[in-house]
Chain A
Amino acid sequence: MHVFELGFVAAVLLAATPILYAALAGAISAQVGVFNIALEGQMLWGAFAAVAGSYYTGSAWGGVLTALVSTALFSVVLAVGAARWHADPIIIAIGTNLLAIGLTGFLLRVLFDTSGSFSPRGLEGLPKMAFLADVPVIGPIFAGQTALVPLAFVLIVAVGLWLKRSAGGLRLRGVGEHPDAAAALGVNVASYQTWVTIAGGALCGIAGAQLALGNVTVFTENMTAGRGWIAVAAVMLVAGRPLWLPVACLGFGAAEALGFRLQGIGAPQQLTDAAPYAITLLVLVATRIRFAKRASLTST
């Protein structure tokens, strides 16, 4: 079996995309100075909302919209609590992560009378871009993917450029880097933080929708399985520079996809499951060693 082929590239993209949306959410929150570790719970909620929305509306895009709106609402607690009420974002996030696990499991029982997983007959998954099938190179990579996959990259580049080049982006970065100075210049810090965190919630909703309706067509309890945490680590890794996110997330996607391949040839699932976390930590340490050296040179 060839590991490095176009099919593998497709698998990497598939694994990386949900993480990419969540990491973009984390990165813009980091830019305005909110440490957002609620990504895992928000993504899980998004996955559930997407499946429920698709089930009730009968349309996968209805599911995406449901996920986007309801996860944005779900993130209001974090946004308002952290930005306006100056509560500890870490504690709110721990609470909302637990809440997401509990609520999705609870609603699964109450609304659909099942536990574990939910994939009713006729649940609409997101359409694949099959029309690309005949295009060389692009075809084998993207024909089996949803439109949300390339959109993730477009969004990241757009947001990255907007942050770097536009006046709004500049103000937004100012809010995170020096809130007092931004406030003195008349920027409403709390308002920026609130809306950016809510926008992050919407992005996590899309991440969940892609996971539950794009990668597969099912909701499983706790199906995010740590992807939100990998996204938090990715945000730390790129130190808030969104344009580097694709590199980090594709790395994790590759670790996950490689894990699946290795399982296919008999490697134990437990060890390939652990690999993305171990690799993430090692890469974090490796990049931080450089920072640490530089810091020890400059500080006395």
Chain B
Amino acid sequence: MTAPPETTPGASGAPGSSRGPATPAAGDAKAPSRGRRLATAALRHPAVVPIGAVVLALLIGAVIILAAGLDPITAYTAVIQNSLDPGQLDYTFSVWAFICGMALAAAIPLRMGEFNLGGNGQLVLGGLTATVIASSLPLPSIVLIPLAVIGAAVVAGAFGAISAPLATRFGIPIIISTLLLSPVAVAVVSYLVRFPLGEAGSAVAQTTRLPEGARMWALGDLSYSNAGLIIIVLLMVVFWVVDSRTAVGFELRVVGANRRFGAYGGVRVGRLALGAMAAAGAAAGVVGAVIVMSSPFRLIDGALISPGYTFAGLAAALLAGGRPALIPVTAILFTVLQVGGAGMERSADVPRQLSDVLQGVVIVVLALRTVLDQRRTERSSA
């Protein structure tokens, strides 16, 4: 997926043709009226398409709720109220951070035009690594907690990186290899949690609770949000800086826009893909580590995957077009859907699955936005 074209109309005309009152010779046959030009300029604003996608998705969702014989206004009000309930903001914030982390795992490869659909596998491997390190090494917290997070990032990053050589050497698309590798990792972790690492005598497949010294530092007396969320926010800042201020970020975007041009321009695409997939896996791994080191301080089989952070993150990354500065904003939307969805089920009796429906609709509408882009290019090149 590429960034929307930012060309101006008349760029194909004579050099020096201005955007001011168009002379008849300046490329465009007819000079559009002032109102028309203003309208086009407004439509061209980069925020129009994502916001349009969200509004359209909410309308489609409303139709679905109506068709189910329920009231969309009540449902949506319940979503907003439940997710922004002051008593629950602490929880909402932690979900937001996890979705942001998984959005990073999707957005970094997305920058170079690749899809990482293996977030679940990377997430659980990170959780597993953090659990093993945190529960087995007798170290002081100040060393142990960072070590567990870094260990999770390294293992999950290495796992994510496998897909890069598979793509560059064997031509197996990253989207396919991540998808095939992910359930293998999930199954292996599930097996380990159930048998060798499982808590003896427990009916639930889970590890024993992490020792006190291995629990993520709390932020005041908040029960859900902790220092781990700060780490995830810092990772997003790092991605933003790397993306906008460094050569690597520029290379990622060049390759994303046109792979062959990037390779021709001297970008080593193979190494770039390796780095991007390692960074993506590492981000997911950190999320896994933070989740297990937060309450209830253990790795529970399925608990990392079932909230659906991976696809909410992917949806947030797609909605943001991979742009680092927008991800925190788009993640808010999916957080509200996710957290509010459960509340909607309780108070408005609309099934929680509506959140998944809306996520899917947003993505589909976004994909179809190329229709808009196309109409624009047709008009400007006419």
Contact = CB atoms under 8 A, between A and B. Distances in A.
B361 A99 contact: yes
A281 to B, nearest CB: 4
Contact of A92 (B166, B176, B353, B367): B367
A77 interface: yes
B366 A91 contact: yes
B180 A277 contact: yes
Nearest to A291: B171
The dominant DSSP class at the B interface is helix
Interface in B349-382: 351, 353-371, 374
Interface string A92-110: 1011111111110110011
Nearest to B183: A277
B267 interface: no
Interface of A: 37, 77, 81, 85-88, 90-92, 94-103, 105-106, 109-110, 115, 226, 229, 232-233, 236, 268, 270-271, 273-274, 277-278, 280-281, 284-285, 288-289, 291-292
Given A88-B370, A292-B169, A101 B180 contact: no
From B64, B175, B359, B360, residue with most partner A Cβ within 10 Å: B360
14 contacts: A87-B367, A87-B370, A88-B1, A90-B175, A91-B318, A91-B364, A96-B364, A98-B311, A101-B356, A109-B353, A110-B69, A284-B180, A285-B166, A292-B169
A225 to B, nearest CB: 9
A96 B362 CA distance: 10
Interface stretch (B185-193, B214-222, B235-243): B185-193
B25 interface: no
Interface centre among B188, B357, B362 (most CB of A within 10 A): B357
Nearest to A111: B68
A94 B314 contact: yes
Closest 3 CB pairs of A and B: A102-B356, A99-B360, A95-B363
Given A94-B314, A95-B362, 4 more contacts: A99-B357, A105-B353, A270-B187, A281-B181
A135 to B, nearest CB: 39
A135 B364 CA distance: 50
